[in-house]
Amino acid sequence: MARGWHIGIIGGSGLAEGVGLDEAQEIPVASPFGEPSGPVITGTLGGVRVTFLARHGAGHRLPPSAINYRANIDVLKRCGVSDVLALSAIGSLREELAPGQFVVVDQVIDRTAGREGSFFGPGLVAHVGLADPVCPRLAALAVEAARGAGAVVHPAGCYVAIEGPQFSTRAESRMYREWGADVIGMTAMPEARLAREAELPYAVLGMVTDYDSWRDSAAGVEAAEVFAVMRANAELARAAVRELVARLPAERTASPIDTVLDHALVTAPEARDRRLVAWLDAVAGRVLG
């Protein structure tokens, strides 16, 4: 039995049905930040507590821009999750990252616009470091787990998060390649930012579904293509999650990410907005008392 671990899984496109938990219970969890994508499903997998949330809601109701990323991370934190693994469909910007293969993201470029990207704000200012937006320990576990499940896994890759919902133009797709991005999606930001603010180690297990639009000879990507590849890979993604929980160290040791708020809050206690402080009971209760 792995002590101290409670794995949060955010299921992306093609993975709204969950990961097949034992003793599963569906629980609506309220958040002061508004409506999460849906109720969480909490249960166990190999004796480890796991809580699942479908990012786009049941039946893929929400486009990337309408997802309440703050509420989603807040409810996972409220459920007592210790670490968050995000499952995502991604486009490939490199020949060697082929559809059907997995990429465990290690860097992110944020090209989203207009999304709520922080739990903090006027009345309680915080600046957390985001140089390394994913947790190396969880990412390494995801690599081993996905390999153990039989997937071809690339252990690193830079993810460019676009606003969407349209896919990129050819010019954009080629520009992202020049910038050094390896894969493309619409959801890892602000998810990664918010997980960090909530002191939740976060990693992205990306499943390559297409080659985006940078290749001269090929037609651009279509949503049907993404879902067809995801349908074919959903079971492999679930197997990777089962492998991950089976490979967790017997005891969860502290991660530096667990305490990033220790030195991040800059607003003087007497200048803090009481309503915002109350909203942050789950995300920052550890440091706000």
Ligand X SMILES: CSC[C@H]1O[C@H](OP(=O)(O)O)[C@H](O)[C@@H]1O
Binding-site annotation: residue ranges for substrate? 186, 210-212
Task: Report what 49 binds from ligand ADE, ligand X, none; CB cut-off 5-8 Å by kind.
Answer: none
Contacts of 178 (CB under 8 A, 6+ apart): none
Tokens of 289: 């008392």
108 DSSP β-pair partners: 159
Distance in angstroms (rounded) separating the CA atoms of residues 174 and 23: 46
Q: Residue 273 to residues 155, 188, 278: CA-CA distances in angstroms?
A: 42, 29, 9
Which residue is listed with tokens 């081993």?
144
| Residue 36 binds ligand X, judged by CB under 6 A | no
| Residue 24 binds ligand X, judged by CB under 6 A | no
Are 101 and 183 in contact by the 8 Å Cβ rule? The answer is no
| Residue 226 binds ligand X, judged by CB under 6 A | yes
Residues 240-279, interacting with ligand X (CB under 6 A):
none
Which residue is listed with tokens 């959903």?
234
Residues 60-79, interacting with ligand X (CB under 6 A):
64
Between 89 and 126, CB nearer to ligand X: 89
Q: Is 212 in the active site?
A: yes
**Binding residue (CB under 6 A) for ligand ADE from 106, 182, 197, 210:** 210
Are 280 and 119 in contact by the 8 Å Cβ rule? The answer is yes
Residues that bind ligand X (CB under 6 A): 12-13, 55-56, 64, 88-89, 164, 185-187, 223, 226
Q: Which positions are catalytic?
A: 210, 212
Footprint of ligand ADE on this chain (CB under 6 A)? Answer: 89-91, 162, 167, 184-186, 209-210, 212, 221, 226
